[in-house]
Chains A and B, each alone.
Chain A
Amino acid sequence: MLRRIAAREFLERVRDGRLYWAGGLILALLLTALAVGFAHQRAAQAEQKAAQAMDYQDWLHQDHRHPHDAAHQGMHAFKPEPALSILDPGINPYIGSTIWLQAHRQSEVKFNPAQDATGLQRFGNLSVGWILQVLGPLLIIVLGFNAFAGEREQGILRQTLSLGVEPLRLLGGKALALAGCAGALLLPAALVAGAALAVVAEPGERADTLLRFAFLGLGYAAYLGIWIFVVLGVSAASRTSRVAITVLLALWIAQAVMAPRILSEASRLAHPSATRLAFNQALAADLKATSDRVWLQNFGTTERWGADVPLRQWGIALRLDDQASYPVYDRHFARLWDTWEQQQRLQEWSGLVVPVLSMRAFSMGLAGTDFAHHRDFAVAAEQHRRHIQDLMSADLVKHADPLGDQHFAYQASPELWASVPPFHYHKPRLGWALGRQALSLAVLCLGLVLAAAFAAAAVRRQSAL
C-alpha cells in the first residue's frame, strides 16, 4: 500500500510539471555549482601544492646567512583546499589560506578571497551546499505544499480515508514520494559529485573523502527529511493549500533567509569577541610581562641592550623569549578562537528550531571547510613555526660568538636550512570531524524525529467524516 501511495504521488508530481520545472532549475544550478566548485578546487589545490613546494625550495636554497634573519623571513604555510570544498566552500572564502611562519610572532591567516570580491559577495556563493540548504527546502515546499490540503479541497482526502487507508500510511507514502522526487534530482548530481570527488581527492585521502561524502549525504537527507515532514504536517494541518503555502513560505523565509543573520548577530551579543586593538594590546602586554619575568629570572635584568647581557648570549635570550611566548600565544588565540566556537555552538543549538544552522555547521564540518578544520591547520602551522624558531635558536646558542661582542656576524650554512623539515599538513580524518559535529548531527536527528512527530500528529487528526 505504502509503495502504491508513493508511486501515485510521485507520478502526480511528474505529470503536473512541478518536478520538471522546479527540479530542473535546481538540478541545473547544482550541476553548475559542481562544475564551478570542481574547477576552483583543482586550481586552488594545484596552486597551493606548487606554492608550498616552491616555498620550501626557496628556504633550502638560502645562502649563508644569520639564522635569525632566516627565521624572520620564515616560510609560508598554505592551507590545502579539501576535496569536499567543491560541494561546500564553508568559511574558506572569508578566512584566507596563507599563514606566514615568521620569527617572534604567531601570524594570522592572510588573503581571504572576500577581500578581492565585489559587494555581490554578500548575496552568497553559488555552491552545492548553499543550493541544498537554501533552495532545497523551497523545492520540497513547491512539490508538497498541497499534498494533503489540495486533496482535501478536491474531496479526494475524505474518499481515500473512507476506504480505510491508515492516515499514517498515507503520510508515509507521501513522504516517500517527496523523498523520491528529491532523490530523483539529487542522485544524478550525487553521482557526478562522487566521481568528481574521486578525481580531486589525494590518493591517500580518497576513502576518507568518499566516507565524508556519504555522511554528508546522510546529513542532507536528514535535513531535507525534516522539511518533508514539516511540509506534509503543515499541509495536513491547513484548511486550504493557500494557507499551507503561505505558512510554509513564511517558515522558509524566516529559516533560510532571516534566521542565519539574526542568530549570527545574537551569538555575537552573547559571546562578544575583542576588537583588534584590544586583542593586540592585551597580547603585547602579556608578552612583555612574560618576557621581563624570564629575563629577570635568567639574566637578573630586564634591560635588553645593556652590558649585562652581551650579544653572545642573544641566542639563549631568543630561545628563552620564544619559548616563554608560546604559552602566551596559545592562551590569547585560544581565548579568541574559543569565543568564536562558542558563538558557533549557540547557532548549532538553534538548529532545533532553525535546522539550516545545524545543517550548515554539519555540512562545513564534514566538507573540512569549517572553523574547527581551519583551527587545526592554524595550530599545525604554528607548531611548525615554533619548530623552525627552536632549530634556529639552538644553532645560535651552539655558535655563540667566543669574542663576546658579535652576534649577527655569524652566518649559518645551508645544512642548517636542510635540518628544517618541509611543512606537511595532515588533514583530520572523518572520525575527528564527526566528533566535532556530534552536536549538529544530534540536533538534525532530533529535528527529524520532532518533524516526523509533528506530521504524524497533524495527519492523525484527519478523518473520513
Chain B
Amino acid sequence: MTTHAPRRARFAMIALQEFRLLGREPALWMVGLLFLALVVYATVNGLAQTAARHAAQAAVQQADQSTRSAQRALLLRMLAGTDAPKPFENPANPAVMASSYGGSHALLPGIALAPVALGQSDLFPSQFKVTHQSRVVFMNPSDIESPWHLLSGHFDLAFVLIYVLPLLIFALSYNLLSGERESGTLRLLLSQPLHLRTLVAGKLAARAVALLLPSVVVPACVLLLARWWMGEPAGGGAGLLWWAALVGAYALFWFALVVAVNAFGASSATNAMVLVIAWVLLVLVVPVLLNLGVTTASPAPSRTELATRTRVVTAEAMSKHADLMSTDYQHVGRGALLLPKDGKIEIAGRALGNYRIQRDVDAAIQPDLDRFDRQSARQQALVARFAILSPAAVAYEGMTGLAGTGGRRHARFAEQTTQFHRQWKDFFFPRIDARAALSAEDFDAIPRFAWREEPPSVVRRHALVAVVQLLLPGLLLLLLATLRLRRFSVA
C-alpha cells in the first residue's frame, strides 16, 4: 500500500500535467473541436435517419391498419346487404384477402441505439408485405434508395469512431515518448523518482479522457436528450453501457498500438508513418480483403439461377393448373355471386388457380431459399471467426449488433417473417380450400406480425465477444510494449 500510494499520486500528477499541456495546444483544440463537430453531426444524422425510417414504418403500419378497418367495414356492409364487393376487392373471399389486397406488413422496428450505427439498415429490408405469394416474390429489398448512397455508406457515429478516432489517437500520441526524448525532457523526467511505465500510463490516461469524452459521453448525452425530447422511454441503458465498453476497448487497442510503436524507440516521424500504415491496413485494406475472403470461401448462391429456377417452377405450376386458369369469370354482370352464402363463398376458377400456383411455387422454391439462408449464416460465422484480423471489422460488427442494424438481427427478422408467412398460409389456405367465407370474427383472427426482440442475453454475449476480441490484441500489444519499455533507451 505504501509503495503504491506515491506511484498513484505521481500517476495522477502526470495525467493532470499532460491534460494541462494538451489544453494549451491550440492545434489540438482545433482538431478536438472538429472531432466533436463530426461526432455531433454523425449522431444527429443517425437520429434524423432513424426518425425518418421510423416515420416511414409508422406510415406503413397506419396504412395497413386503415386498409384493414376499411375492409372490415365493407365486409359488415356486405353482410348487412348494403354494399356489394368488387371481384378483386372482396373481404369475404379468403383467396382475395390472402393476396396483395389483404396482405399485411412485417416490420422490423428500430431500437434505442439504432442511431449510433445505421449499419445495413438500408441494404437489408426492414419491411415485407406478406401475402400468399412465395417468399421469393415478396422478400426483396423494399426501400427506395439511390445506389450511389448504398455504395457510399452512411456518415454515422460508428463510421466516425471506427475511421476517425484512431487517427485522433495518433495525432495526440504518435510522439508519446519519442517527442519527450527528442526534446531531451525524457531524460530529465526519468531522473526523478518516476517509473517509465507510470509516465506512459499517466500520458495515456490524459489522452483517453480527452478523447473518450467526445466519443462516448457526448453522443450518449445527445441520444438520451433526443429520446427525452421525443417523449420516448429512456430505455437501452444496458446497450449504451456495452457500446461504451466497445468504444473503450477499440480505443484501447489503438492506444496500445501507439505505446507499442513508441516502445521501439524510433523517431516521431517514423512512429507517425508506421501508425498511419497500420491504420490504412487495419481499417481500410484488411476489412475489404476479409470481405473478399468470406465471399470467395463461401459464395452466395446465384440469384440469376434463382430467377431461372423460379421461372421453371412457375411454368410447371401454371401448366399443372391450366384448366383452372382457362375458366372464365362467372361474376361479370352477376355481382350476387361475389357474396357469401351460408358461410361459403364462390371462388373463381382463376383465383383458385392463382392460389394453387403460388402455393406450389412456394413449396418448390423453398429448398433454394433455404440454401441462401444457410449460406448467409455460414458467411456470418466466417466473419465472426476472422473479424479479429481487423479491429475495425470487430468494432463495426459489434456496434451494428448493439444498434440492431447488423446481419444477425436482420436474419432474425427474415426468420420471423418466414414464420409469419407460414401462419398466414395456415390461416388462409384451409379456408380457401373449403371455400369458407370470412366472417367478422375470422377477420379479427387474421394473423398479425408481432416482432419478438433478440433476447438481451444474446446481444450481451455478442457484445462481450466483440469487446474481448478487441481487448485481446490490445493487451498483447501492451505486453509487447511493456517488454520493450524495459530496454527503452532514453538517450
Contacts and interface: CB of A to CB of B under 8 A. Distances in A.
B229 interface: no
A273 B143 contact: no
B144 A123 contact: no
B181 interface: no
B145 to A, nearest CB: 8
Contact of A116 (B268, B333, B376): B376
Interface stretch (A58-66, A215-223, A392-400, A431-439): A58-66
Contacts of B379: 117-118
Given A265-B155, A311-B332, A91 B147 contact: yes
A246 B167 CA distance: 11
A55 B311 contact: yes
Given A279-B144, A343-B148, A122 B304 contact: no
Contacts of B305: 47, 51
Contact of A51 (B141, B287, B307): B307
Interface in B374-425: 375-376, 379-380, 382-383, 387, 392-393, 396-397, 400, 406-407
Contact of B326 (A62, A245, A257, A408): A408
Interface in B158-186: 159, 163-164, 167
Given A134-B284, A265-B45, A273-B144, A113 B300 contact: yes
Interface stretch (B17-25, B119-127, B217-225, B427-435): B119-127
A69 interface: yes
Contacts of A119: 119-120, 383, 396-397, 400, 406-407
B147 A407 contact: no
B449 interface: no
Interface string B327-354: 1110111010000000000000010000
A118 to B, nearest CB: 5
B28 to A, nearest CB: 13
B146 A268 contact: yes
B476 interface: no
Kindly name the residue among A93, A257, A310, A343 whose own CB sees the greatest number of chain B CB atoms within 10 A: A257
B308 interface: yes
A63 B322 contact: yes
A122 B307 contact: no
A278 B167 CA distance: 41
A311 B169 CA distance: 75
Interface stretch (A2-10, A174-182, A299-307, A322-330): A299-307
A275 B148 CA distance: 16
A426 interface: no
A257 B155 CA distance: 10
B140 interface: yes
Interface string B180-222: 0000000000000000000000000000000000000000000
Nearest to A275: B56
Contacts of B148: 91, 264, 340, 343-344, 347, 371
A449 interface: no
Range class of the A interface residue count: 35 or more
A138 B277 CA distance: 10
Contacts of A47: 302, 304-305
B141 A340 contact: no
Contacts of A362: none
Interface string B127-144: 100000000000011111
A245 B272 contact: yes
Contacts of A407: 328-329
Interface stretch (A94-102, A164-172, A198-206, A456-464): A94-102
B288 interface: yes
Contacts of B288: 120, 123-126, 130
Contacts of B325: 65-66, 69, 408
B404 to A, nearest CB: 13
B151 A91 contact: yes
Interface stretch (B5-13, B108-116, B241-249, B312-320): B312-320
B144 A98 contact: no
Contacts of A163: none
B87 interface: yes
A363 to B, nearest CB: 12
B70 interface: no
Nearest to A407: B328
Contacts of A214: none
Interface string B355-379: 0000000000000000010011001
B422 to A, nearest CB: 22
A420 B284 CA distance: 49
Contact of A73 (B120, B164, B276, B314): B314
B63 A277 contact: yes
A93 B142 CA distance: 16
B86 interface: yes
B327 A408 contact: yes
A261 B152 contact: yes
B452 interface: no
A73 B315 contact: yes
A307 B127 CA distance: 40
Nearest to A127: B288
A465 interface: no
Contact of B383 (A95, A120, A277): A120
Contact of B150 (A29, A48, A94, A110): A94
B437 to A, nearest CB: 19
A118 B294 contact: yes
B282 to A, nearest CB: 11
B200 to A, nearest CB: 22
Contact of A122 (B146, B153, B333): B153
Given A91-B148, A119-B400, A126 B292 contact: yes
Interface string A74-88: 001010000000000
Given A112-B141, A119-B383, A306 B333 contact: yes
B44 to A, nearest CB: 11
B59 interface: yes
B461 interface: no
A320 to B, nearest CB: 17
A305 B311 contact: no
Contacts of A66: 325-326
**Which 6 residue pairs across A and B have the least CB separation, nearest first?**
A307-B333, A111-B303, A116-B300, A123-B287, A264-B152, A91-B147
28 contacts: A29-B285, A36-B292, A44-B304, A91-B150, A110-B303, A111-B140, A115-B140, A119-B383, A121-B120, A124-B284, A125-B291, A242-B272, A261-B155, A264-B149, A264-B152, A265-B45, A265-B155, A273-B144, A276-B144, A277-B60, A307-B332, A311-B329, A340-B148, A344-B148, A371-B146, A371-B148, A408-B329, A409-B326
